[in-house]
Copies of this chain bind each other. A is one copy, B any other.
Amino acid sequence: MTLKPRTPVDIRAVAKRAGVSIATVSRAMNGITTVDAELAKRVMRAAEELNYTPNTQARALVSGRSGMIGLIVSEITNPFFPELIQSFEDSAVKRGYEILIGSTNYSAERMMQCVRRMVERMVEGVAVMTFGMDEDLVQQMVERGIPVVSIGPKNSLEGASSLQVDFRRGLHEAVQHLAVIGHRKIAFISGPLSLDSARQRQKAFQEAMSSISTPVPPQFVIEGDHTMEGGFAGAEKLLSLKEKPTAIVCSNDMTAIGVLHAVSGRGLKVPDDISIIGFDDIHMAQFTVPPLTTIRMACSDLATAALDALLHDTAEPMRKFEATRMIPTRLIVRQTSGYPRQHAVKRTKPAAKKTSARPVSAD
């Protein structure tokens, strides 16, 4: 045919070298049983010798299977997500898939680009681990027959599996823990309220506070952004309050690290002056100074559950899995939570009178 200066090591080259047809090479490489063992070996050797690597694009084009699974996360620089990615990839690789990562950076536009990318690259499923799903975008993928799993309320999306995270339990445990050791003035720094899960966590916190019959003054609830800077800023605000909290619960560990930085920066002691509780239990939580008490949400559980839902879907695309598996959370007590020194002082000097000036925290 056409003579080419460069040698494209394609399936034809292997076929030629092994003295068989390209069909046989394909079958041999894919382990199809209807090929003679002897021949298969010859093909393999030829492929080896030529250093042949199949062209995945061509394979995907014809077979309809790209061998990739999409994973959309919020941001890659928040350590929680790399841990999640790692778990997800490990599981995926084990099952013969590669992963395609997209990060939204909390931007709707980037989310759209991610989805588009996934569709274009023909991923065989996508896990939306962004903790605040974009319903219509997810719907778009579902319509194209792509299995989707996301974190969100049960059955919120027709045709997509959903994973629920038991935010309430963890937050309950955290508040209980603080209450038991004497805290009442507990503040909360949330994630960006545009996120579904941030609102959920905040609500769960307030419920937990209700359960210990302690109303939360509005200035004790601050909107953060899941970053260390946000935690720092939030803590600064809280520490400038006339009536300061004795404990700060954060909606993720990065926020807590920011808080820790702010508190220590002011020369305050943790947990003597202020207790801090994080959320996620990222690996680094064990290594902060002091080590962080936090609510663990096992990202490996999340990852494998997501993948299970996805692959269950691909296996039985007719009857959708639509799992609603619940991911547990639980408190891990380390050293940023403790008995509030300020508490004892408070009793003798009821600064509570000042609060009475404020109608909201009057009771």
CB-CB contacts of A49-81 with B at 8 A, as 1s and 0s? 001011111101100001000000000110101
- Give the distance in Å from the alpha carbon of A103 to the alpha carbon of B99 in the complex: 12
- Give the distance in Å from the alpha carbon of A21 to the alpha carbon of B307 in the complex: 41
Q: What residues on B are CB-neighbors of A144 within 8 Å?
A: 6
- Give the distance in Å from the alpha carbon of A257 to the alpha carbon of B292 in the complex: 14
Chain A positions 271-301 with a Cβ under 8 Å from a chain B Cβ: 283-284, 286-291
A228 at the binding interface (Cβ < 8 Å): yes
Question: Interface residue tally of chain A, by bracket?
Answer: 35 or more
Segment at the B interface, from A82-90, A126-134, A348-356: A82-90
- Give the distance in Å from the alpha carbon of A117 to the alpha carbon of B286 in the complex: 34
Segment at the B interface, from A24-32, A176-184, A205-213, A258-266: A258-266
- Give the distance in Å from the alpha carbon of A64 to the alpha carbon of B121 in the complex: 15
Asked whether, in the complex, the Cβ of B55 is within 8 Å of the Cβ of A58, the reply is no
Chain A positions 7-50 with a Cβ under 8 Å from a chain B Cβ: none
Asked whether, in the complex, the Cβ of B228 is within 8 Å of the Cβ of A257, the reply is no
Asked whether, in the complex, the Cβ of A55 is within 8 Å of the Cβ of B289, the reply is no
A154 at the binding interface (Cβ < 8 Å): no
Q: What residues on B are CB-neighbors of A142 within 8 Å?
A: none
Q: How many copies does the complex hold?
A: 2
Asked whether, in the complex, the Cβ of A77 is within 8 Å of the Cβ of B66, the reply is no
Asked whether, in the complex, the Cβ of A77 is within 8 Å of the Cβ of B290, the reply is no
A101 at the binding interface (Cβ < 8 Å): yes
A116-B53 contact in complex given A77-B79, A228-B284, C-beta closer than 8 Å? yes
- Give the distance in Å from the alpha carbon of A98 to the alpha carbon of B70 in the complex: 14
Q: What residues on B are CB-neighbors of A232 within 8 Å?
A: 287
A122 at the binding interface (Cβ < 8 Å): yes
Please name the residue on chain B nearest to A78 by beta carbon: B82
Nearest-neighbour CB distance to chain B for A166, whole angstroms, equals 25
Chain A positions 111-128 with a Cβ under 8 Å from a chain B Cβ: 116-117, 119-122
- Give the distance in Å from the alpha carbon of A76 to the alpha carbon of B257 in the complex: 20
Contacting A122 at CB < 8 Å: which of B55, B83, B85, B257?
A: B55
- Give the distance in Å from the alpha carbon of A258 to the alpha carbon of B288 in the complex: 9
Asked whether, in the complex, the Cβ of B98 is within 8 Å of the Cβ of A101, the reply is no
A-B contact pairs, 26 of them (CB 8 A): A6-B145, A51-B140, A53-B120, A55-B120, A56-B57, A56-B121, A56-B122, A57-B58, A57-B121, A57-B122, A58-B61, A61-B61, A76-B82, A76-B85, A76-B86, A77-B82, A79-B79, A86-B103, A89-B103, A228-B283, A258-B287, A260-B287, A261-B286, A261-B288, A264-B290, A288-B289
Chain A residues within 8 Å of B, Cβ to Cβ: 4, 6, 51, 53-58, 60-61, 66, 76-77, 79, 81-83, 85-86, 89, 98, 100-101, 103, 116-117, 119-122, 140, 144-145, 228, 232, 257-258, 260-261, 264, 283-284, 286-291
